Amino acid sequence: MSNWEKALDILEALREREQAAEHGWALDTEFLLPQQQSVNTLDTHGLVELAGREDRAELSLSGRAATG
The answer to whether 47 touches 22, Cβ cutoff 8 Å, is no
Please tell me the pTM assigned to this model. Answer: 0.61
Mind listing the pLDDT tens digit for each residue in 46-61?
Answer: 888 888 888 888 877 7
Residue 7 and residue 13: Cα distance in Å, rounded? 10
Cα–Cα nearest to 15, from 7, 4, 26, 23: 26
Comparison of pLDDT for 62 and 54, the residue scoring more: 54
The domain of 21 spans 3-67
The total of structural domains in the chain comes to: 1
pLDDT band at residue 21 under the 50/70/90 scheme: confident
- CA torsion sign for 13, 44, 41, 50 is negative
The dihedrals phi and psi of 66, each to the nearest 5 degrees, come to -70, -30
The answer to whether 30 touches 1, Cβ cutoff 8 Å, is no
